[in-house]
Structure 1
């Protein structure tokens, strides 16, 4: 195993950021190359904990000569976001300097333009240089996993339709309860990787990408950072790597993926109709029917008409829920995976900003 650091100079004098990168050299040129990162949203730490345990497994496999495909791991992919605290709260989702989401605005390039990502870096901001380094590493692999988490959530993933249903093995290995089939229309990291693979050269576009996978894995919620969960997820991810031939080992039979796989158009983004305190009546993992009471918003405390009901727009599975208990008007409350398309209009791309 090789450990190195990518140095990213800050945008003000005297500042620099260090990005540790762990690399394992594979012994087989035919084995898939793998790139895994965590905490691109710096305050989402279940993936960092998972990779801590996975790296121990990979070190042992390396000592046994069992690493077949090159593996690159970045356990904390956003040192810039890790340093952003506001009144004691880590602000890891948005760059405070530019107000942009750390997981948006990745360059959409062809695979043949990969080398250009690291050319003339000084003309880019520190955040954009970070993004270019991360994307450059991922495009050197066939399997790219970006580990995130939701606010409160089940285990699920965003997977481009180009990788489905082949990616069901990852969903099964990590015991996911749902898969959101994305349309590849955003500039998020996993979709930028998929975009380059689909467009290997100018004018070329592939609809399917057998043998490849770029995915955003949502490892439950922000507070689900426990050794038991991280160890379980690390074991599942290790089984996935063995199953894909990245690591040599006995391939245990994975159960079939038993969760829901639905397109983004079938995700009901339940929002607060008024501002106020949130009183949830249903939890993540609950199956609900159209009209079920999901939450009430205490919009005018003490008034006879001071509560507003929020009901399920259609049948489905509650996959996520916000952890805050105060909502602004039209703030997101839940994501519900449904069998039918939502009636709410949705722009192509990511569900959230």
Structure 2
């Protein structure tokens, strides 16, 4: 291991092998905390190949952490998907989907359904434990399930192996932050409903409140089993807060590195870590308006017709009902009413992201917008 400074130590994690035998690895930077009772943290970036800004945020965060008193262990994994990062075509990175299976890299995580489906039986075998002992045992069960899956005699796919390896690292932490970006996007984050209040610590104006359930992504893989444990225990009169927090941070647009902007997001993460006692010093959150909507109110606009698209609505800016989102240009129908078509929505919304290309097929997802927005 190479010592980076007095606090951070660099190692690596093996994520798979190429056909020619080279090992795929990602760097791991560890800040060891001095308080074993403090929450531990796992942060990863660049699971999708083109979504590189999270690496810059980790860089800026590590530089900041060198000047703070670290209570809880912090593990940072930038460049978390080397196969996706290196999947290039000309000047563009294609690494959103596993090229072997076509599955989204961020939907390969392991579903612990057998554990959570029979949580009552598992609890009965561990009910005599204190809360901390119970949490340690449950964490051990999740890790064992991941390792059993990796070791199954039929093997696992390339993408699933990478996801299980990252997920195993995340299961060891109390706080999981997965750093992403959109195509052309405003900053936003995904937070579970039970943790909605803590979205106010990050330097991010918009929050999507997701159901407390598993949908395949890293944040859900991290928190959902713990939510199920907490709910079952509450149903029999044993009450405690959900022991694990997990957020996905969407840090604006892909194929972009902005170190100044990255420092602002790193400061937001630092404020959250301060709030959770991971660092000893107080870091105040950025003063800003923050807005949320429930995932059910996060809507997709699909292209009603094919054509060339002018994206008219700015991301992150409220848009009134009837105002223009896009213009669809069809030069093959020049001279008719279909040559230029304006597309709007019948409700107020906040456009959050839009498709990157100006050339679209019919049915292409043009925009994602927040509706029924409320103040956080």
- TM-score for the superposition, normalised by structure 1: 0.86
Partners of 1:100 and 1:5 in 2: how far apart?
25
Q: Is 1:125 aligned to 2:154, yes or no?
A: no
**Alpha-carbon distance, 1:28 to partner:** 0.8
Q: Is 1:43 aligned to 2:76, yes or no?
A: no
Moved more, 303-312 or 94-103: 303-312
**Alpha-carbon distance, 1:55 to partner:** 1.3
Q: Is 1:81 aligned to 2:109, yes or no?
A: no
Question: For residue 93 of structure 1, what is the aligned residue in structure 2?
Answer: 96
Q: Is 1:177 aligned to 2:202, yes or no?
A: no
Partners of 1:210 and 1:126 in 2: how far apart?
32
Question: For residue 347 of structure 2, what is the aligned residue in structure 1?
Answer: 314
Residues 255-282 of structure 1 show CA distances to partners (whole Å, capped at 9, x for unaligned) of 5762221101112211210111001222
2:312 to 281, 286, 293: 281
Moved more, 10-19 or 267-276: 10-19
Q: Residue 103 of structure 1: SS of its match in structure 2?
A: helix
Root mean square deviation of aligned Cα: 2.5
Question: For residue 333 of structure 1, what is the aligned residue in structure 2?
Answer: 366
Q: Is 1:259 aligned to 2:284, yes or no?
A: no
Residues 222-276 of structure 1 show CA distances to partners (whole Å, capped at 9, x for unaligned) of 1542121112222222222122210121x24435762221101112211210111
Question: For residue 347 of structure 1, what is the aligned residue in structure 2?
Answer: none
How many residue pairs align between the two structures?
332
Structure number having the greater helix percentage:
2
Question: For residue 222 of structure 1, what is the aligned residue in structure 2?
Answer: 254
Residues 299-330 of structure 1 show CA distances to partners (whole Å, capped at 9, x for unaligned) of 34424222222112311212222221111111
Partners of 1:252 and 1:246 in 2: how far apart?
11
Partners of 1:58 and 1:330 in 2: how far apart?
45
1:195 to 220, 224, 240: 224
Rg: which structure is higher? Answer: 2
Question: For residue 119 of structure 2, what is the aligned residue in structure 1?
Answer: none
Q: Residue 81 of structure 1: SS of its match in structure 2?
A: helix
1:102 to 100, 105, 116: 105
Question: For residue 162 of structure 1, what is the aligned residue in structure 2?
Answer: 194
Moved more, 221-230 or 109-118: 109-118
Structure 2 segments unaligned to the other structure (5+ residues)? 1-7, 116-138
Question: For residue 149 of structure 1, what is the aligned residue in structure 2?
Answer: 181
Structure 1 segments unaligned to the other structure (5+ residues)? 342-353
Contact 1:80–1:127 (CA under 8 A) maintained in structure 2: no
Going from structure 1 to structure 2, the CA distance change for 1:223 and 1:7 (only over 3 Å counts) comes to closer
Partners of 1:291 and 1:96 in 2: how far apart?
40
